[in-house]
Structure 1
Amino acid sequence: MRPESTNGTSGEELLVPMAWMYAEYIADELLRTGDLMPPTTLEFRAGRDALALTIFLSDGAVGGVRVVTRLDEWLALTAYNTRWREWVCRRLEQIRMREEREEGGGPDLPLARAAWRWLQETELLAADLDAVVPGVLPEEEDGPQVWTPAWQLGLPLGHLAIHLF
């Protein structure tokens, strides 16, 4: 059933997280286009969430900004050895403080925070790149593995997907 009014006069506006949904959609499309792994895997979700956070927090999800103009910025933000984790924490805090000052907030920030919480708290089994010795074949078929926070696996995956776009 549709709400009686969506123009804000009744005080019962329908709050739709459009900025977050847009960021998630763009991230999903980038990863699917790259065809790096099946979309049903946790690794894909880690990449999608890391990219969606990057897009959302860089303000690329607001105002209908053309994706092509933002690719270089997203590449720089997701590059190896950047302080992406600190940047995410700082931007989430800035948005929270802005919304507190404006007394209210949209539905986007809770979704972004939930994605960030999942990326931090979830660990995925991944190749231990620090244990690989160049020129020496590992004894195990898949090589040594280590439990890694999802964001550490999703971030390079997202970065690669942007390159492949």
Structure 2
Amino acid sequence: MVPEEEPQDREKGVWWFQLKVWSVAVVSILLLCVCFTVSSVASHNFMYSKTVKRLSKLQEYQQYYPSLTCVMEGKDMEDWSCCPTPWTSFQSSCYFISTVMQSWTESQNNCSVMGADLVVINTKEEQDFITQNLKINSAYFLGLSDPKGWRHWQWVDQTPYNKNVT
């Protein structure tokens, strides 16, 4: 015959087991908290360093090129662009609206001299931006042409005209 355990010893064993389980749980949670804190601090330092570098670059641009106008288009530091002063910035591109009366070819040549092209419209948002910045009673050239006269319209960057976009 096997002697029965004392009720007090059984309660003591259950209590000791629960203590071990809870200790492991608490230590695991503490380790997760430490990992989360270290990860958050490292991420913050990385983003802060990146932001400081971008601001430094922006200040350098404006110092050496005082005729640049730089704008931040979103909340993220990556959403900024710089354009020459008479130009307008939109989605990391620069737009120059000329008031000089010229032919399409002269306008394209003028753009080339400035290191640019006549406008190529890629999105509805870009088209809306452009039309909002033009004078209603004026005429403007786009970078769209039919070079061979066969109704095969294409942009100056050689992409075909897509009437669903504009």
Q: TM-score range by the shorter chain?
A: under 0.3
Larger Rg: 2
TM-score after normalising by structure 2: 0.22
The structure, 1 or 2, with the larger RCO (C-alpha pairs under 8 Å, 6+ apart) is: 1
TM-score after normalising by structure 1: 0.22
The structure with more helix, counted as a fraction of residues: 1
The structure with more strand, counted as a fraction of residues: 2
